[in-house]
Chain A
């Protein structure tokens, strides 16, 4: 019997103290959500129905992109159909937003005409029937052709023009020795036409349409043919600087879904054909031409494709990123953006913690006054719950990237109330039993059994609520639900492993039961020392 009491008690105390100790020693602390430390949160949703697999893949790709940005501890999760990207403490916010936002399909389109320099009319986004125009011009101008053309691009390079550069170059060190050195080609802008060229709106930018799209940073305008391939054919891409000049080295996937497709395109562009009259292949992402290099070879080997030109380091790296991760299997749309400055986050955290501590203090005081020594049991019990919670949250922050958000902090504060409720239920039941004339000792076990039923029922319904919230909602509601649910589970565990044995032990100790003014008996309003039989209640009021 004794062992039965002591074992769970020692166990839970050891676990709590051990967990807390290990957490503190290893320097872990709960990972703060971005509303507590500042940062950006973006919610993305597919524009059309997407399979779970596709979304999962999209999450992976976005994660890679964000990782490549060097954001510390980003959190990218799928919540239902939505993808939530949290970038706590991100430095270069706009760049991050832009990269995360670039979620559309990466498309390779032939350049029909380089309209750079032409006057441009912005697309009329409201009219989805806007048709792509200037088709007549499709076959007229060919500005850059030839397989090994080299034109100067110095001017463009100086201007940092990201799309004037370009050139595909193939080096096949093992097979042929005829590979030309990387070359630079610049397609000078097509002569301006009289009327402004209308740009294709985003919703009209479908894969099979002929479109007119702007270059990156609004530099240049291109008329492009139907999509020849998507980013799926790319297996990897990286920025390199082999000879003092940044370039992007590409690898294609093997087989029909990779290099074969690419070579078909290359054959059409070199020499230029009707499909690809300019010999240039545009890399289009999100209705923006990222780059439009000239294809210099009719055929490439899959690991030996480079795009060179007047790249700066950032441009080369961005292009590599886009090529590597540009192609998401679904089109995503930014649904919500939230940015929180670091100072605001800190203030909220401090306020939340202090409010929580004050609340806890008040509850403790109330319980002490009301239940006397049993109030102490509650305080220690809540302390144990707290230690376990802290250890679990820290641990999950470390291993699962679980972040403590303001909603989570609120969930925890709210759960103080729920946790204490369980003690109240137990102590009131104990009071009933003692009033019924039982000794405190005999009452404890009975009272706990009955009270535990109530606690369990109530906690199960709370947990049910938390679980449903977690399942069916997104964003901050989820964080809240998680912490509420976690505290519910801890509440039941602590009630069984800690409260029960402790109260049983205390009830056997006369020092605690009979201590004048503070003893358990006093707290339970049994008019006389608990060990003695008593009448239900002392009579005579004031």
Chain B
């Protein structure tokens, strides 16, 4: 964040000399400045094999861990009973004696430190409602506190299964509907990468839980489902840009579909970063302030999964969904031909650089098939301004010489 501030400060001081920006100069600017102005030129699409490999490895590690170690499921999924009671003078051994008579020999009994002193936590396999009430009474008796101070959580085994089933069903329905929605809103070829990215994010998150053996609770499931929303939001922001830039793709313009996607990604990069940062801040605060500093453990259950998912979502929309889209699209005859012709002419690096340099100027006003006229090294602002009016229905108004003098 401070870096970004620094970057903007730098721009301020340069105000006076700012008019002569040209493409070659771009390269000399600091990465933050370029990032800030959407003029970076990272090769997201070209190195897709690298990104896919990274993700594949991560996902495989997760799946491997999932298969061998499984998830550390909380009682909400496996069924079971947990009693928590202020310990009073009672020890773990006392509690063990107290619950043994109910046939709960296998119960896990722990002492927990909390703000209000030591608590006893007894966790056992599912028992009947009557037994659980009796144990509650016995524990209250033992510790000398009232029955109402014994916190009881009990989940029947079938209930846990049902919860998981419902979550998975919700997930599947969600994926199907989102696919349909994106296919309608954009096109089917965009829905597939979105879907892949979503599944990727879920697998990564589940994988992290399998590797770290963090306990999976209902809040975790909620968080995973929320991630889907985020992931899609990110994806849509990027794809919206891609969609808008599609008309730039032409062999004469020197931009292949992949090149265009790359340009779009670079333009939308700051947007993606910003949306991720602004989403991370509250979630991070949930984890650090709410959970670690103030000790509300439940918040942690939400926050960790959200955090993982957010990172994964930001990553997948840039490095998975978009390159995949480019790859899919370039299999279409039309874009394949364009790509072939461009490659024959020696690649599109220059065109991409130019398009990026021209920035969203060209692309933002979304017109023409000929932005590349701004050409290899000549992508100055003036050029693009000339080009734009030729474009679409809403040309920028010719208010070039404005009333306001400014400085």
A residues with a Cβ closer than 8 A to B are 35, 43, 45, 80, 91-94, 97-98, 101, 125, 333-341, 343-344, 347-348, 350-352, 354-356, 358-360, 362-363, 366-367, 369-370, 406-407, 410, 413-414, 416-418, 420-421, 424-425, 428-429, 431-433, 435-439, 442, 446, 450, 453-454, 457-458, 460-462, 464-466, 468-469, 471-477, 480, 484, 510, 514, 517, 522, 525, 527-529, 531-542
Contacts and interface: CB of A to CB of B under 8 A. Distances in A.
B15 A414 contact: no
Interface stretch (B3-11, B89-97, B98-106, B333-341): B3-11
B316 to A, nearest CB: 15
A429 B20 CA distance: 23
Given A351-B299, A442-B397, A454-B240, A474 B232 contact: no
B42 interface: no
A391 B182 CA distance: 33
Contacts of A344: 151
Contacts of A533: 399-402
A43 B363 CA distance: 55
Contact of B222 (A338, A420, A480): A480
B14 A370 contact: no
A328 to B, nearest CB: 16
B217 to A, nearest CB: 10
Given A532-B402, A538-B21, A370 B178 contact: no
A358 B37 contact: no
B173 A472 contact: yes
A354 B17 contact: no
Interface in B294-345: 294-296, 298-299, 302, 306
B263 interface: no
Interface string B112-155: 00011000000000001100110011000000000111111111
A539 B359 CA distance: 13
A98 B133 CA distance: 9
Nearest to B277: A366
Contacts of B218: 475-477
B281 A539 contact: no
B221 A542 contact: no
Given A453-B240, A464-B181, A335 B166 contact: no
Interface string B167-203: 1011001100110011001000000000000000000
B155 A336 contact: yes
Given A477-B222, A533-B400, A435 B359 contact: yes
B154 A337 contact: yes
A476 B358 CA distance: 49
13 contacts: A334-B156, A335-B155, A358-B289, A359-B289, A413-B282, A424-B278, A425-B271, A435-B360, A473-B167, A476-B219, A477-B167, A538-B17, A542-B30
A535 B294 contact: no
B375 interface: no
Given A91-B148, A480-B222, A439 B402 contact: yes
Contacts of A354: 289-290, 294
Nearest to B225: A469
B166 A473 contact: yes
A335 B21 contact: no
Nearest to B33: A541
B158 A366 contact: no
A94 B406 contact: no
Interface of B: 1, 4-5, 8, 10-12, 14-15, 17-22, 25, 28-30, 33, 36-39, 76, 115-116, 128-129, 132-133, 136-137, 147-156, 158-159, 162-163, 166-167, 169-170, 173-174, 177-178, 181-182, 185, 218-219, 221-222, 225-226, 228-230, 232-233, 236-237, 240, 244, 267-268, 270-271, 274-275, 277-286, 289-291, 294-296, 298-299, 302, 306, 358-365, 381, 384-385, 388, 394, 396-397, 399-407
Contacts of A80: 166
A84 to B, nearest CB: 11
Consensus secondary structure, chain A interface: helix
Highest count of chain B CB atoms <10 Å: which of A35, A358, A446, A510 = A358
A527 B13 CA distance: 10
Contacts of A338: 152-154
Contacts of B153: 336-339
Contact of B14 (A420, A461, A527): A527
Given A97-B133, A336-B155, A406 B298 contact: yes
Nearest to A80: B166
A457 to B, nearest CB: 5
B174 A535 contact: no
B295 A351 contact: yes
Nearest to B388: A436
Given A418-B229, A418-B233, A464-B177, A472 B159 contact: no
Nearest to B358: A536
B405 to A, nearest CB: 7
A414 B228 CA distance: 13
Contact of B17 (A429, A525, A536, A540): A540
Nearest to A337: B154
A464 B286 contact: no
A473 to B, nearest CB: 5
A344 B116 CA distance: 10
Given A424-B275, A461-B178, A525-B36, A535 B21 contact: yes
B406 A532 contact: yes
A282 B98 CA distance: 36
A356 B277 contact: no
B174 A454 contact: no
Nearest to A465: B229
Nearest to B170: A472
Given A410-B302, A436-B388, A480-B222, A339 B151 contact: yes
Nearest 10 A/B pairs, CB to CB: A538-B18, A355-B290, A359-B282, A417-B279, A359-B285, A531-B404, A351-B296, A532-B406, A541-B29, A432-B360
Contacts of A407: 219, 222, 302
B18 A540 contact: yes
A522 B11 CA distance: 10
B197 to A, nearest CB: 13
Contacts of B396: 436-438, 442
Contacts of A534: 18-19
A421 B219 contact: no
A445 to B, nearest CB: 10
Contact of A370 (B4, B10, B295, B405): B4
A442 B402 CA distance: 11
A536 B360 CA distance: 9
Given A362-B284, A407-B219, A537-B21, 9 more contacts: A125-B128, A338-B154, A341-B151, A439-B404, A442-B397, A458-B233, A531-B402, A532-B406, A540-B14
A94 B133 contact: yes
A348 to B, nearest CB: 5
Contacts of A541: 10, 14, 28-30, 33
A350 B290 CA distance: 8
A482 to B, nearest CB: 12
Contacts of B405: 532
A350 B293 CA distance: 12
A363 B282 contact: yes
Contacts of A91: 148
B299 A538 contact: no
Nearest to B284: A359
B79 to A, nearest CB: 9
A205 B218 CA distance: 35
A446 B397 CA distance: 11
B20 to A, nearest CB: 5
B41 to A, nearest CB: 15
Contact of B274 (A92, A424, A446, A528): A424
B394 A446 contact: yes
Given A417-B279, A468-B177, A540-B18, A436 B400 contact: no
Contacts of A334: 129, 154, 156
Given A464-B181, A472-B173, A484-B226, A454 B402 contact: no
